[in-house]
Chain A
Amino acid sequence: MAEARSVGLPPTQSRWAFRLIALVYLAFLLIIPVGLIFWRTFENGIGPVWDALTSPDSVHAFQVTLIVAGTAVVLNTAFGLIASLLIVRHEFRGKSIFNKLIDLPLAVSPVVVGLALILVYGRNTSIGTWLGAHGINVIFALPGMIIATCFVSLPLVVRELVPVLEEVGDEQEQAAATLGASPFQIFRRITLPAIRWGLAYGVVLTLARSLGEFGAVAVVSGRIVGQTQTATLLVEQSFENFDTGKAYSVAFALAAVAILALLLMTFLRPRSDR
């Protein structure tokens, strides 16, 4: 009964009730479904999974995914560094609009992203025609998929870096400047080491989001098998074609990467929060 008197914990009865409700909810929404997919994947042993993952179209899909996600991560990391430094260390006209526009992609449906890119870079548009005349196809090709992935994961690095930069302050940068360090030296020796954990966290988030992008890429890629098919598109296509073994195997590979990213994030989180 001592527990019932301590205010921190609710009385045993309702504490058990809350715990039970939360656990049952999470079990049926999250834990059992995710566990089940691992079980379904390895139902027939590891052989078929390996075969499915090493089949030519899977290997190609993973390659496309890596190229698209890798490029998007590099671009968004560079943008994230520049934009967060601008937001935290500078005053300029239109800053609050700039800041709000960066958050916009989080509220936009991936399918709308795809449509938006088709309307600007599609073959019937002026930009698309001009680019096509110079031999660059954006839609139904890798550049469009990269832009789409950049769009959906754009805010993640910025949102991680802004609070970190604010907390670090700029005293050290000022001191370095007074001592005659160049802006690049200041960035490399002062700013970057101070924000590295926050940056790492943002990069992992961006990578996880980029590897898993489906809707936007589905629209702009044209889903050309063996050319613009990413891993997530392959999951859907295999499932629709009743090749559930392959769908589960590729989904398992993607889920494994996601869980790995999650573990990395919990490892990085306390450091960036300290």
Chain B
Amino acid sequence: MTTTLIEPEDPPAATPVPINAPKRRWRPSTGIELGLATLYLSFVVIIPLAAVIWRGLGLGWSGFWAAINTPEARYALVLTVVASGIVAIVNAVMGTLIAWVIVRDDFPGKRVLDTLIDLPFALPTIVAGLVLLALYGPDSPIHVTLAYTQPGVVVALLFVTLPFVVRTVQPVLLELDQDMEQAAASLGASRTTIFRRVILPNLVPGILAGTALSFARALSEYGSTVLISGNLPMKTQVASVNIYNQIQNDNPGGAAAVSTLLLVVALIVLVLLTLIQRWAVRRG
């Protein structure tokens, strides 16, 4: 409990109690704080994002369609969605397996491994790209060259999304009551049955939440794919890189249209995520 962190020798200031102390529950003041927080949120997040959507939809329906239907933009969007889908599926499987190994298995170096899982979140994305090029670049020491290829893009996305599923499944697995598994085993259930009927149903909300998060992140990823993709339009160019190029080519309208579509997909994923979480809470 964090409450215990309050030092006992640090009591509130001993101001005498006012005689006409208010009877109602004390509340910190709201007005100014709420105003400041909303103002900050507006100028940093809300107004800029609204401007993107405004600009994108401002092209009109046919203009918007034309902007996202150029061969390059369409290719980039399809590649992004397909690559993110592959990344989400691989993460669902490998993330669950890694979480399982970290929680249920025991071997030397396990704690270090547990810490290292978070490294992709802490590492700058451009460094992540450089790191992958060191192993899978043109002068690969293991002679596997993924640079400037679509698998290279997928590997970069797998790198940056690695922690999501692991970190959503791990706590569930830790708290999972092993009595149920033992009961199932004593009733003669096979290990596959126990996993499928007892363990997996408990993990599903966590796996889905982590998968949705990694899908959303993969959709929007930019930095890690820049170096390894080589930015080849119609081959390895993902949506974010396409947007970047359109900004550089002074085509903010086209960039805004592709951005709007990307934002909409991300929002759908976030809504799905909220629904998954509600469903998980209802199931207890």
| Chain B, residue nearest A93 (CB) | B34
Partner of B2 from the list A11, A32, A185, A198 (CB cut-off 8 Å) is A198
Residues of chain B lying within 8 A (CB to CB) of residue A219 = 244, 247
* B100 close to chain A: CB less than 8 A: yes
Query: Judging by beta carbons under 8 Å apart, are B105 and A108 in contact?
Result: no
Which secondary structure characterizes the binding site on chain B?
helix
Residues of chain B lying within 8 A (CB to CB) of residue A26 = 98, 113, 116-117
B7-34 interface code vs A (CB 8 A; 1 in, 0 out):
1001111111110010001111110011
Residues of chain A lying within 8 A (CB to CB) of residue B159 = 29-30, 33
Residues of chain B lying within 8 A (CB to CB) of residue A183 = 28-29
Tell me the smallest distance from the CB of A160 to a CB of chain B, in Å. 12
CA distance A108 to B41 in the complex (A): 15
Query: Judging by beta carbons under 8 Å apart, are B25 and A174 in contact?
Result: yes
| Chain B, residue nearest A169 (CB) | B3
Query: Judging by beta carbons under 8 Å apart, are A262 and B127 in contact?
Result: no
Given the contacts A86-B33, A180-B17, A258-B124, A7 and B185 also touching, CB distance less than 8 Å: yes
Query: Judging by beta carbons under 8 Å apart, are A255 and B123 in contact?
Result: yes
Query: Judging by beta carbons under 8 Å apart, are A107 and B266 in contact?
Result: yes
| A interface, size bucket | 35 or more
Query: Judging by beta carbons under 8 Å apart, are A232 and B124 in contact?
Result: yes
Given the contacts A22-B98, A34-B119, A36-B135, A92 and B10 also touching, CB distance less than 8 Å: no
CA distance A93 to B23 in the complex (A): 24
Partner of B28 from the list A8, A85, A117 (CB cut-off 8 Å) is A85
Tell me the smallest distance from the CB of B58 to a CB of chain A, in Å. 10
CA distance A181 to B11 in the complex (A): 10
* B270 close to chain A: CB less than 8 A: yes
Query: Judging by beta carbons under 8 Å apart, are A196 and B5 in contact?
Result: yes
Query: Judging by beta carbons under 8 Å apart, are B247 and A114 in contact?
Result: yes
CA distance A181 to B223 in the complex (A): 49
Partner of B124 from the list A9, A114, A197, A212 (CB cut-off 8 Å) is A212
* A186 close to chain B: CB less than 8 A: yes
Tell me the smallest distance from the CB of A3 to a CB of chain B, in Å. 11
CA distance A48 to B202 in the complex (A): 53
CA distance A115 to B181 in the complex (A): 52
CA distance A213 to B18 in the complex (A): 51
CA distance A82 to B243 in the complex (A): 34
Tell me the smallest distance from the CB of A102 to a CB of chain B, in Å. 7
CA distance A213 to B126 in the complex (A): 9
A213-234 interface code vs B (CB 8 A; 1 in, 0 out):
1110011000000000000100
Residues of chain A lying within 8 A (CB to CB) of residue B135 = 28, 32-33, 36
CA distance A106 to B34 in the complex (A): 22
Which secondary structure characterizes the binding site on chain A?
helix
Query: Judging by beta carbons under 8 Å apart, are A98 and B130 in contact?
Result: no
Partner of A172 from the list B6, B48, B121 (CB cut-off 8 Å) is B6
Q: Which of B67-100 contact A (CB under 8 A)?
A: 94, 97-98, 100
| Chain A, residue nearest B122 (CB) | A258
* B204 close to chain A: CB less than 8 A: no
Query: Judging by beta carbons under 8 Å apart, are B134 and A36 in contact?
Result: yes
* B281 close to chain A: CB less than 8 A: no
Partner of B178 from the list A7, A15, A30, A101 (CB cut-off 8 Å) is A7
Query: Judging by beta carbons under 8 Å apart, are B141 and A36 in contact?
Result: yes
A153-169 interface code vs B (CB 8 A; 1 in, 0 out):
01000000000100111
A1-44 interface code vs B (CB 8 A; 1 in, 0 out):
00000011111001100110111011011111110110010000
| Chain A, residue nearest B219 (CB) | A109
* A247 close to chain B: CB less than 8 A: yes
Query: Judging by beta carbons under 8 Å apart, are A116 and B48 in contact?
Result: yes
A230-243 interface code vs B (CB 8 A; 1 in, 0 out):
00100110010000
Query: Judging by beta carbons under 8 Å apart, are A120 and B130 in contact?
Result: no
* A179 close to chain B: CB less than 8 A: yes
* A51 close to chain B: CB less than 8 A: no
Query: Judging by beta carbons under 8 Å apart, are B223 and A215 in contact?
Result: yes
* B148 close to chain A: CB less than 8 A: no
| Chain A, residue nearest B258 (CB) | A112
Residues of chain A lying within 8 A (CB to CB) of residue B21 = 178, 180
**Could you write out 15 A-B pairs with CB less than 8 Å apart?**
A26-B117, A79-B41, A90-B28, A111-B244, A115-B259, A167-B1, A174-B25, A179-B17, A186-B12, A189-B13, A190-B6, A197-B5, A232-B126, A265-B122, A274-B4
State the 3 A-B residue pairs at the shortest beta-carbon distance, nearest first.
A212-B124, A177-B26, A116-B48
